[in-house]
Amino acid sequence: MLTARSDDLARLSSALSTLGLPDSIAGRFQVRLVVDSSVILTEICYLARSRRKPGARTALQEAVASRTVILVAPNDLKTEVERHIPRRAAEINAPAEHLNLHWQEYEKVILFQSPKDLPPLRGAEYVALKERDEDDLPFLEVMRMVNASAILTEDKHFSRSGIPAIPLALCIDLREYARGRALEMQIMVGGMAVGLVGIGAITGFFKGIEALLTIVKRMPPIIQFLMFIGLVIAIVHPRSQAAIGRFLANLGEHARRGWEAIEPAVLKMAEQSKEAQIQSSQHLGKVKMRLERQGARPPALSHIAYGICISAGQPLAAEEIQRLALAEGYKPRGLDSLKYLRRILGSDSRFQLCAGGKWAPSMPGRAESQIIS
């Protein structure tokens, strides 16, 4: 039975994207969430006290490691968590130092933001939250600032104030989506060479199939790679299997015997790929249903663009930011939306121009890593 780590999802998606493959093959779901202290304290208490297997990770940790979830928070989160650690440590009868160590690991993967130079918040959500807990307002400000989908919280104040909020339990679906999608991609690009770490490993897939090996070895490594990806992608589509069989039959008896030797394993991979796709789609469907914001006011393009830039982890061209903004649901009002975007990027202090004419966040607070060990 093939398996894949959720961590592999980001690497596999990136590798496929560099080949210019469409989002239906190389794409992955990603969501920005503003995390509050209730979630962080729950997580670090579990890691310090309840975790049975050393090294085991929570569903949220896996979702972050796969870059399915991008965590964002106001700087106020640091103060809140550190203020509550002594009390929570006493409640679970664990050394505060242990909680602090796990908190330090979480700090590395959170994008801390300090809202400034933004118009003050308005609206019923702001008024309702201010009445319930004024200390939570920075989380609402950051949510707007980065165009986050929701606040990840165990606190009812947000949802009762009409603010999109999701519970920590939904991270189980996010983790299962990441695992399933990673397995689906791994089968596509790795096939029999599960855990592929280099182009040379692909040649090993054909070992023992002498007729094909002679031909394939003469080709440049990148062509071997592309052929292999094309074969596996075709295999997972049932209507292509008959055509592949006819093609290989024409190559002669050696090729036919080679195909017969690997056919059961290849078809098994196709079956597992289909199962992984179904499962990941089911979990993703639950997440999207929970994240739907009925009647929500469309966010400003500046906030969408900033959220995209902090999530990317690397400078982006304006054209790529525009493409991703449209994917997030932005609806241009004018004919030249790219010109409008360039004007925003050049005038908003949250963006800086980098080498090659690309754009990146100018504000501090980048996470050191998106991997929690």
Work out the mean pLDDT of the chain and round it to a whole number: 77
Q: Does the pLDDT of residue 96 top 80, yes or no?
A: yes
pLDDT of residue 37: 94
pLDDT of residue 290: 83
pLDDT of residue 110: 95
Q: Give me the residues paired with residue 353 across strands.
A: 359
Amino acid letter, 327: A
DSSP 313-348: SS-B-HHHHHHHHHHTT---SSS-HHHHHHHHHHH-
Q: Does the pLDDT of residue 22 top 50, yes or no?
A: yes
Compare 205 and 328 and report the one with higher pLDDT: 328
Distance between start and end Cα atoms, the chain? 25
What does the alpha-carbon distance between residue 35 and residue 168 come to, in Å, rounded to a whole number?
10
What does the alpha-carbon distance between residue 354 and residue 251 come to, in Å, rounded to a whole number?
52
The mean pLDDT value for 103-130 works out to: 80
Q: Does the pLDDT of residue 214 top 50, yes or no?
A: no
Q: Which two tokens mark 333? A: 């009002």
Helix, strand, coil tally for the chain in percent (to 5): 60, 5, 30
Compare 268 and 235 and report the one with higher pLDDT: 268
pLDDT of residue 28: 84
The mean pLDDT value for 19-36 works out to: 82
Counting other chains too, the contacts that 59-63 makes at CB distance below 8 Å and 24 or more residues apart are: 59/168, 59/171, 59/172, 59/174, 59/175, 60/152, 60/168, 60/171, 60/174, 60/175, 61/372, 62/6, 62/7, 62/175, 62/178, 62/179, 63/6, 63/171, 63/174, 63/175, 63/178
Q: Does the pLDDT of residue 227 top 70, yes or no?
A: no
Read off the pLDDT of residues 315-368 as tens digits, 9 standing for 90 and up.
Answer: 999 999 999 998 888 888 777 889 999 999 999 888 999 999 999 998 655 454
Q: Does the pLDDT of residue 269 top 90, yes or no?
A: no
Find, among 273, 205, 212, 209, the residue nearest to 238 by Cα. 273
pLDDT of residue 225: 47
Residue 95 DSSP SS3: coil
Read off the pLDDT of residues 54-63 as tens digits, 9 standing for 90 and up.
Answer: 778 899 999 9
pLDDT of residue 190: 55
pLDDT of residue 80: 93
Read off the pLDDT of residues 283-311 as tens digits, 9 standing for 90 and up.
Answer: 988 888 888 754 456 778 999 999 999 98
What does the alpha-carbon distance between residue 102 and residue 43 come to, in Å, rounded to a whole number?
9
Find, among 232, 199, 233, the residue nearest to 216 by Cα. 199
What does the alpha-carbon distance between residue 146 and residue 304 come to, in Å, rounded to a whole number?
6
Between helix 221-235 and helix 171-190 the angle, nearest 10°, is 120
Tell me which residue has tokens 């023992």: 208
pLDDT of residue 232: 54
Picking from 44-53, 91-100, 137-146, 171-180, which range would have the lowest pLDDT averaged per residue?
44-53
pLDDT of residue 201: 39
pLDDT of residue 175: 93
Q: Which pLDDT band, with edges at 50, 70 and 90, does 210 fall under? A: very low
Class level of CATH domain 30-174 = alpha beta
The mean pLDDT value for 181-204 works out to: 54
The mean pLDDT value for 107-125 works out to: 78
Read off the pLDDT of residues 135-171 as tens digits, 9 standing for 90 and up.
Answer: 888 888 899 889 999 999 998 888 888 888 899 999 9
Q: Does the pLDDT of residue 178 top 50, yes or no?
A: yes
pLDDT of residue 240: 56
